[in-house]
Amino acid sequence: MNNQDRAICGDAEAIYAEIKDAPIVSPHGHCDPAWFCNDAPFDDPSSLLIKPDHYVFRMLYSQGVDLADLGLGDAGAGRDPRAIFRLFASNWHLFLGTASRRWLDYSFKTVFGIEEELSAQTADRFYDRLEACLQSEAFRPRALFEKFNIEVLATTDGALDNLEHHAAIRASDWSGRIVPTFRPDSVINPAHVRFCEDVRVLGELTGEDTGSFDGYLRALRARRVFFKAAGATATDHDVSDLYSEWLGEAERDALFKQAAAGSLGEADAVRLHGHMLIEMAQMSVEDGLVMQLHAGSVRSTNRKLLEAYGPDMGADIPKSVDWVHGLGALLNRVGNSPDLTLILFTLDESTYSRELAPMVGHWPALRLGPPWWFHDSEAGIARYFDRVVESAGYWNLAGFNDDTRAFTSIPARHDLWRRGVAVHLGEQISRGRMTRADAGSIARLLACDLARDTYRLGAG
Amino acid sequence: MNNQDRAICGDAEAIYAEIKDAPIVSPHGHCDPAWFCNDAPFDDPSSLLIKPDHYVFRMLYSQGVDLADLGLGDAGAGRDPRAIFRLFASNWHLFLGTASRRWLDYSFKTVFGIEEELSAQTADRFYDRLEACLQSEAFRPRALFEKFNIEVLATTDGALDNLEHHAAIRASDWSGRIVPTFRPDSVINPAHVRFCEDVRVLGELTGEDTGSFDGYLRALRARRVFFKAAGATATDHDVSDLYSEWLGEAERDALFKQAAAGSLGEADAVRLHGHMLIEMAQMSVEDGLVMQLHAGSVRSTNRKLLEAYGPDMGADIPKSVDWVHGLGALLNRVGNSPDLTLILFTLDESTYSRELAPMVGHWPALRLGPPWWFHDSEAGIARYFDRVVESAGYWNLAGFNDDTRAFTSIPARHDLWRRGVAVHLGEQISRGRMTRADAGSIARLLACDLARDTYRLGAG
Amino acid sequence: MNNQDRAICGDAEAIYAEIKDAPIVSPHGHCDPAWFCNDAPFDDPSSLLIKPDHYVFRMLYSQGVDLADLGLGDAGAGRDPRAIFRLFASNWHLFLGTASRRWLDYSFKTVFGIEEELSAQTADRFYDRLEACLQSEAFRPRALFEKFNIEVLATTDGALDNLEHHAAIRASDWSGRIVPTFRPDSVINPAHVRFCEDVRVLGELTGEDTGSFDGYLRALRARRVFFKAAGATATDHDVSDLYSEWLGEAERDALFKQAAAGSLGEADAVRLHGHMLIEMAQMSVEDGLVMQLHAGSVRSTNRKLLEAYGPDMGADIPKSVDWVHGLGALLNRVGNSPDLTLILFTLDESTYSRELAPMVGHWPALRLGPPWWFHDSEAGIARYFDRVVESAGYWNLAGFNDDTRAFTSIPARHDLWRRGVAVHLGEQISRGRMTRADAGSIARLLACDLARDTYRLGAG
């Protein structure tokens, strides 16, 4: 029995026992489908555990570690992965108390079977063990997928992606279920750096005239059909300034023309993006793709890092979000529709009880996503239940998703969630708010059933 | 001993025992005075428990239940109340973990004496029992009022209300104390849909010329005198965009003229409303009516429901509020007055520790209202104490009010508050922050004394 | 064993025992250096405990006590200190549940050795005892400093201060370490009421031409050199509207010229202040002074009190702060510098998890200050750890500081923090998040090591 197991007792322990081995439904995340297509061994421990994990390298960077020394960017190309791992290990104390340490600890112990504690002294033994694992058959992507008991895993894919790896997986004799997710940011957000070029390519790919708004919509529909045929059940949208507005036809056409020409101003770009979100929601009503909205991350706030290393370097910072006004126009067009499922993700925890629980407890189309990013942690999960359930209940939530690009952290993240669910429900019982039987039902719901149902992933 | 009782132990249990049977002081709510005037039996279980409870029907609506199927709106007229109750019962699981379920459970058990659990299977037995109760003498409004041990109950009444039911109750031989509350939104907020008409009627009712600002103020004063004579001790104000500004005489007159003519723009309407809130506060200094400000609810965000069913259909959603700047002008005119009591209610929990506890811990006129609406729940009450007391202490709070139109939920709501008080104080003792004796005093204060004193309801 | 000690048990108790007697590192506060220079007895109990403590008199004022009756302002001059103390004692119940009561209780018991409870009845005995203490040698400032086991105490000093008391202390044979802090608000914030005059004096003091921007910068550098020579390791900045912008040379010069002439508009004053904050940060990169930013207090919101009593009368109220955009320009110029330490203090707890933990977990220059002002309380400390650690870890925090002008409350405040640390870490252990050994290390770090290191106070 490890420390974490000792921390759960009574009803919570029994509930955890009932759900800990439930299959993993992972309806949103950022794994690379190529892993499962090629089933090649992962390169090395640092490429698997450190370089793709912005939680890890942002913490190291905050304490003075150079990103290049972690093998990132052009400057970091060719760094010795063992040296990278040693550097990480010698800073392992920085992660005390963080969610990252929980996830990594779980992976080390449960996935890789390492019992000792990581430190500068044990770094080499860790590295040897991890390396040996990764070279074995049992740690190939498909084998891990099966070991992790993953029922279905959704990736996130640009609107122009050819989904070749998804196609190859489906064509293969492997039965693992990997589905794509339609992420059209670059073709619906005029502020996106690749908007003009991607809208042009969108036209080529679909044979539609994306010079006209109608052709552009037809092209988007065509891509959604393509994604759906490849197994997609959802779309995903990143929104920094949450805003929606239904534009009149003439204005919409005019703004789109300017956007396609790269001459749209910043304020109008927000408006056109706000219109396109409604178009996307309306297409979801038509085609049944579940819509996800991840709002409120200010991207790449560190310009020096953006220039040297590109986006996603740990400098995305949350900001306040006004859900009521931001989504007003969208909801008033489609929020009453029984055919739409729109899942909201926030990084602004003050909105949990103020706006989001009340909103998902009213609008038929809405579901509240699980704690996201910085809040997908033990205390973050506790705050989420504390602030959300009394207004929203459980059935207006979307279950859990791990949202990770760190494949081996997937079981760790679902385990942390399930422990959080068990602790929450144990407390519900001990406070007299719920019977043990009801708590057991809710536990199964939150562990995987709700995610499967919300994302319409029931049928393979 | 039920589950909820098992959840309280030690000092908390003893404290709860001391306050659980204290009389109910209900200084703010939305019960219908006609009930107590006529003392007729309540219509049927669904009309009592479901149709007037926006907490209940908003949850059902969020999960796809048609409001008409719950008997709401023109479309729902004539629905069989038993069918409505069955529909509700079959969705009872949706309320797991919500405050609504706590209140209803308490009502079923304590008020109606039903021991079994509600479900689709037990719906008819529940309905039969509820219906039988409602037809009995013991469940007439006055009898319940006495059974609930209500010392005083305040209703909320439009400024133009003739208060005939209040007058009849006072003239009757029944000793129950029901007092009105002066709610002048429709005659002081130029953005109110009935503003022009209601200001005109206000003139007629009072014999004042509400075409001039001075006459308008005289008319408002007259109505306050009328309400006070009918037992009112308080006013109540709903404010969406919190704002106050003291206008110069010329501008004030000009804006009022435009408002009365229905030609005032949106921004100026906010300004005039902000001026009128200060006028109201000044009148409170004069006449001693306690002023309540409920701020930050965006009303009727679902236009389709508003058109089909009217307001108060569960689509009011909280938003951020800036108390410091919003109340600045008002407080700088009257906030230092020892004669004013101004109670603030927020739906934005982030303001508890940031602005409200510091403000009520400074301004002599201010008191902080209890958790409101979505936050009037077990965890909401815990958050309130956690974030407020250390800066504001207890004497700057306003005690509890139930703010309900669901009459039979009143004891349930006060009981939930009293349990929350007991749990909070038990924790204060166990953390060494307070002696048992002090905790006992605070418990009685919070259970009813503070509400009685704050609302000046001491003298019958 | 007192009540507070009973409240800590298990691992938390052991951890508390390990750190409770650690030396006090007080890197930020508002004590008067003259106390330690002159080492004269404190005047009387009320002048020590009530009149300088805005927490105390704001609460009394909120409940109707006249500030003049507490000896404040011209109107309060000459009030009998015993009468003031009696007035305070008779309102002692108002402080139940507040941090102020915790601090005062601790001071009464631990510093002054009084065992009974304060009340109207015991007020005179308390006063006698306090007065007798203050007249004894053991309660002289230096003796208390030593009794409190203060390793170093930083004061906060205006940029024009001659630091004579600091010089005299250093020249004396007393070994207590008192260091100044450079607080240049009045010479870098054009909205400051003394800006024009103080910039002129700044020129005189330094022999620089503060009529030109370059001379102005040289003058500021000279004062930083002067403060550093007197032992300063840090600067401190109060910012109401958080904003930073790097101005072009021409605009900067033009705005400065207007500011020096007293003709700068409000919006431009914010911009010039925002530029000067970056200049200050850049000077910190050069000279190594740690920079502190206290943001989000709206000062003197009660105009009547401001006029009658001046600033700092308990009417400063927190407001929302947008750290991401507010600091964007500053951080993009200097936030990646390993030579800068910039400590952020917030009064908006919603920013803990939303912006601040993510920001300090990314930018090398940033550290998060401890709970400030209204949040420096038992529950406030718990919320801080709950919301901050999982994203930021411990090493991106700044340790504790007491930020007080109430000298005898210093041990009380550090004790409350250390209890909070112990409770937090005890919970980390019991939840399986940390080993006992790691918790012990973190405890020592948070108790004093981190403050000493962050503020570069290691070398005497």
| CATH number of the domain that residue B410 is part of | 3.20.20.140
**Surface-to-core class of residue B371, CB atoms within 10 Å of its CB (0-12 exposed, 13-18 middle, 19+ buried):** buried
Task: Give the pLDDT band of residue C241 (cuts 50, 70, 90).
Answer: confident
Question: Are C294 and C360 part of one and the same domain?
Answer: yes
Domain-located, residue C459 = no
- How far is B399 from chain A, CA to nearest CA, in Å? 22
Mutate to test the interface with A, among C320, C355, C433 (most CBs of A within 10 A): C433
Domain-located, residue B260 = yes
Mutate to test the interface with C, among A98, A103, A109 (most CBs of C within 10 A): A98
Q: Which of B391, B435, B442 faces C98 most closely, judged by CB atoms?
A: B391
Which residues of A have a CB under 8 Å from any CB of C? 2-7, 58-59, 61-64, 93-99, 102, 298, 301-305, 314-315, 317-320, 347-350, 374-375, 377-380, 383
pLDDT (0 to 100) of residue C91: 98
Mutate to test the interface with B, among C98, C106, C300, C353 (most CBs of B within 10 A): C98
d(CA C387, CA A53): 21
Q: Do the chains contact at B363 and C64, CB–CB below 8 Å? A: no
What Å distances lie between residue C285 and C154, C356, C364, CA to CA?
21, 21, 13
Question: What residues of chain B lie within 8 A of the CB of C98, using their CB?
Answer: 389-393
Q: Do the chains contact at B302 and A364, CB–CB below 8 Å? A: no
Question: Are B171 and B246 part of one and the same domain?
Answer: yes
Question: Are A20 and A83 part of one and the same domain?
Answer: no
Q: Count CB atoms within 10 A of the CB of residue B175.
A: 9
Question: Are C133 and C149 part of one and the same domain?
Answer: no
Question: What residues of chain B lie within 8 A of the CB of C54, using their CB?
Answer: none
- How far is A454 from chain B, CA to nearest CA, in Å? 12
3-state secondary structure of C395: coil
Question: Are C228 and C366 part of one and the same domain?
Answer: yes
d(CA C291, CA C281): 7
Mutate to test the interface with A, among C331, C353, C397, C427 (most CBs of A within 10 A): C353
What Å distances lie between residue A244 and A60, A159, A252, B301, C272, CA to CA?
38, 21, 13, 14, 35
Phi-psi region of C207 (alpha: psi -120 to 50; beta: other; left: phi over 0): left
- How far is C271 from chain A, CA to nearest CA, in Å? 20
For range A26-41, the mean pLDDT = 97
pLDDT (0 to 100) of residue B9: 85
Question: What residues of chain C lie within 8 A of the CB of B431, using their CB?
Answer: 4, 7, 378
Give the residue from A81, A112, A138 where a domain finishes.
A138
d(CA B225, CA B241): 28
Better-predicted residue by pLDDT, C195 or C5 = C195
Asked if C178 and C169 touch (Cβ cutoff 8 Å), the reply is yes
Question: Are B89 and B34 part of one and the same domain?
Answer: no
Question: What residues of chain B lie within 8 A of the CB of C3, using their CB?
Answer: 429, 432-433, 435
pLDDT (0 to 100) of residue B240: 87
- How far is B355 from chain C, CA to nearest CA, in Å? 6
Per the DSSP assignment, residues forming a β-bridge with A295 are: A239, A346
**How many Cβ pairs within 8 Å bridge chains A and C?**
122
Whether the per-residue pLDDT at C460 is higher than 80: the answer is no
Asked if B408 and B48 touch (Cβ cutoff 8 Å), the reply is yes
Whether the per-residue pLDDT at A2 is higher than 90: the answer is no
Task: Give the pLDDT band of residue C310 (cuts 50, 70, 90).
Answer: very high
Domain-located, residue C416 = yes
Nearest to B381 by CA among A386, A439, A425: A386
Q: Which of B61, B348, B378 faces A362 most closely, judged by CB atoms?
A: B61
pLDDT (0 to 100) of residue C459: 64
What radius of gyration do chain C's Cα atoms show? Answer: 22
For range A237-249, the mean pLDDT = 95
Asked if C174 and C248 touch (Cβ cutoff 8 Å), the reply is no
Question: Are C321 and C442 part of one and the same domain?
Answer: yes
Q: Count CB atoms within 10 A of the CB of residue B341.
A: 24
Mutate to test the interface with C, among B246, B323, B353, B385 (most CBs of C within 10 A): B353
Asked if A439 and A425 touch (Cβ cutoff 8 Å), the reply is yes
Q: Which of C338, C350, C353 faces A374 most closely, judged by CB atoms?
A: C353
Asked if C108 and C126 touch (Cβ cutoff 8 Å), the reply is yes
pLDDT (0 to 100) of residue C4: 63
Q: Do the chains contact at C347 and B336, CB–CB below 8 Å? A: no
CA angle B394, B398, B401 (to 5 degrees): 125
Question: Are C132 and C211 part of one and the same domain?
Answer: no
For range C209-213, the mean pLDDT = 97
Domain-located, residue C320 = yes
d(CA A8, CA A160): 46
Q: Do the chains contact at B97 and A387, CB–CB below 8 Å? A: no
Strand order in the sheet with C342-346: C157-158, C182-183, C234-239, C290-295, C342-346, C366-368
Q: Which of B331, B355, B393 faces C96 most closely, judged by CB atoms?
A: B393
Q: Do the chains contact at C390 and A99, CB–CB below 8 Å? A: yes
pLDDT (0 to 100) of residue B444: 98
d(CA A372, CA A345): 7
pLDDT (0 to 100) of residue B1: 41
Tokens of C412: 């009380």
Q: pLDDT tens digits, residue range B58-108?
A: 999 999 999 999 999 999 999 999 999 999 999 999 999 999 999 999 999
Report the number of distinct structural domains present in chain A: 2
Question: Are C86 and C57 part of one and the same domain?
Answer: yes
Domain-located, residue A460 = no
Whether the per-residue pLDDT at C2 is higher than 60: the answer is no
pLDDT (0 to 100) of residue A91: 98
Q: Which of B331, B358, B395 faces C63 most closely, judged by CB atoms?
A: B395
Question: Are B87 and B33 part of one and the same domain?
Answer: no
Strand order in the sheet with A178-179: A24-26, A150-154, A178-179
Question: Are A414 and A323 part of one and the same domain?
Answer: yes
| Residue C285, phi then psi, degrees to nearest 5 | -60, -40
pLDDT below 50 — which residues of chain B?
Answer: 1
Mean of pLDDT over chain C: 96
Domain-located, residue C286 = yes
ipTM greater than 0.90, yes or no? yes
Task: Give the pLDDT band of residue C1 (cuts 50, 70, 90).
Answer: very low
Buried-state track A89-106, b at ≥16 Cβ within 10 A, e below 16: bebbbbbbbbbbbbbbbb
Q: Do the chains contact at B302 and A336, CB–CB below 8 Å? A: yes
d(CA B412, CA C287): 63
To which H or E segment does residue A24 belong? Answer: strand A24-26
Domain-located, residue A459 = no
Chain C: partners with 3+ C-beta pairs within 8 Å: A, B
Q: pLDDT tens digits, residue range A257-299?
A: 999 999 999 999 999 999 999 999 999 999 999 999 999 999 9
Q: Do the chains contact at A361 and B95, CB–CB below 8 Å? A: no
| A58: closest chain C residue by CA | C362
Nearest to A424 by CA among A398, A443, A449, A396: A443
Q: Do the chains contact at A319 and C325, CB–CB below 8 Å? A: yes
Give the residue from A138, A168, A186 where a domain finishes.
A138
pLDDT (0 to 100) of residue B30: 97
What Å distances lie between residue B29 and A195, B405, C195, CA to CA?
53, 7, 52
Domain-located, residue B459 = no
d(CA B357, CA C374): 9
pLDDT (0 to 100) of residue A148: 98
Domain encompassing residue A116: 44-138
Give the residue from A138, A159, A183 where a domain finishes.
A138
Nearest to B237 by CA among B397, B372, B345: B345
Question: What residues of chain A lie within 8 A of the CB of C389, using their CB?
Answer: 97-98
What radius of gyration do chain B's Cα atoms show? Answer: 22
| C352: closest chain B residue by CA | B350
Question: Are C343 and C274 part of one and the same domain?
Answer: yes
Whether the per-residue pLDDT at C117 is higher than 70: the answer is yes
| B441: closest chain C residue by CA | C93
Q: Do the chains contact at C354 and A320, CB–CB below 8 Å? A: yes
pLDDT (0 to 100) of residue A8: 83
CATH code of residue C133: 1.10.2020.10
Asked if B182 and B234 touch (Cβ cutoff 8 Å), the reply is yes
**Chain-centre distance for alpha carbon A347:** 12
Q: Count CB atoms within 10 A of the CB of residue B325.
A: 15
